[in-house]
Structure formats: structure tokens, C-alpha cells
Chains A and B, each alone.
Chain A
């Protein structure tokens, strides 16, 4: 099992540019989560999907952020336009299960984003 795959692992961009982060969940998992980690705010949930459907995007900071999951094996998180305060590590995580006995959540290695 390859685990959750994220790309790129590191991204340096200039303010105002569009940034697209990608995630491939573990095969068979039906829930996908995007988190952001900063020193100041810790780990924050941005959005999550169940069966490719966005369930809760209340953590998305503002309209500059958008996420899609066109199929069970791929998701993107886009920031347009990017700002320096978006600099953080972005994690994707996936999990199998619906209902009371869903399984453990596994994290990807993260994308370290730096916006200059």
C-alpha cells in the first residue's frame, strides 16, 4: 500500500500566484480530509469529503480557497490568489468507513507551502 500521496512536497511561490495541491487517497478509502498546520493555529481542518461529496467546508479560510474531488482517487486544494499568510504545511488524510465503526485516518506526508 503506497499510503496517501501528496504533491508537490514543497512549493515556493510568489504572492498572487495560483497554487494547486494534489492528493491521492489510499485505494478503497471513501473519506478524504484536508488540514492546514501552522505554528500559530496548529492543525486545522479545512474541508472533508465523503464518497467524493464535500460535507463540511466551514474551515476553508476564505473564497480564495477551493477544493474538489472529481473521483475517489484524486483531490485538489487550490489557492487563488495566494498570500504570504497561506504559508503552512497542508496535509491530506484519508479513511475508510461510514457510520460508527469507520477506521483509522491516515495522513499523507504534507505539502510545505511558502508564499513570498
Chain B
């Protein structure tokens, strides 16, 4: 079974600085998808960014980018120019190709310091 590991239960960053959240996963599949979801205090799960394993180029969404290292099975999230609204729980998630469910990591709680 696939597993997703987020080794940083908590992180903090100064406003306007850059922070990187770590995620590793375990799979024997070659085709899969990786995601980062944000969960603010409202509890809503919000998709931040998505990466297809067959793409070599790292995904980018405005201030959010990933460092996808397929051989190392690593998928880190970089948040640039951190804002107070970025404070939330961040979940890394994995999914096989095909219509299968997401497998989530335990999450990293990010605090942004003004």
C-alpha cells in the first residue's frame, strides 16, 4: 500500500519569507499524481497544487511551487513571499493513476509570523 510521510508536524515562517514543507511517499507505481492541500482554521480542504508523475517539470501556482524528485520519491512545497493567510495545515497527498482515492500524510501546521 502507498504511504505518504510528512516529517514536519509544525513549521513557522516570517511574513514575506520563503518556507519549504517536506513530503515523501512510497509507491511501486510509475504513473501517479501528487497534491498539496491547504486546510485553514475553517476546515475547508483547498487544493494548492498538483503534479503528474509523468511530467518532469515542477508545477507552479503563483507563490507556490513544488520540487518533485521522482527517483527520491520526494515532493516538497515551497511557499514564497509568505502571507498571513498562508497559515494553515498543509497535507501532502498521493493517488495512483486510475480512479482511486487520495492517500494523505499527517499534515504540517504552518504558522506565519508578522
Contact = CB atoms under 8 A, between A and B. Distances in A.
B45 A98 contact: no
Interface residues of B, number: 22
Contacts of B106: 42
Contact of B99 (A50, A91, A109): A50
B17 interface: no
Contacts of B107: 42-43
Q: Tell me which of A89, A99, A105 has the highest count of chain B C-beta atoms within 10 A of its own C-beta.
A: A105
B96 to A, nearest CB: 9
A108 B103 CA distance: 17
Given A42-B106, A42-B107, A100-B31, A106 B47 contact: yes
B98 interface: yes
Interface residues of A, number: 25
Interface in A74-116: 89, 91, 93, 95, 97-102, 104-107, 109-110, 112
- State the majority secondary structure of interface residues on A: strand
A4 B33 CA distance: 22
A105 B50 CA distance: 11
Given A50-B99, A98-B99, A43 B44 contact: no
Contacts of A89: 43
Contacts of B31: 100
B44 A109 contact: yes
B44 A107 contact: yes
Contacts of A18: none
Contacts of A48: 101
10 contacts: A33-B101, A42-B104, A42-B105, A43-B91, A45-B102, A98-B99, A100-B97, A100-B98, A107-B46, A110-B43
Q: Which 3 A-B pairs have the closest CB atoms?
A: A107-B45, A100-B97, A43-B104
Interface of B: 31, 35, 37, 42-47, 50, 91, 95, 97-99, 101-107
Interface of A: 31, 33, 42-43, 45, 48, 50, 56, 89, 91, 93, 95, 97-102, 104-107, 109-110, 112
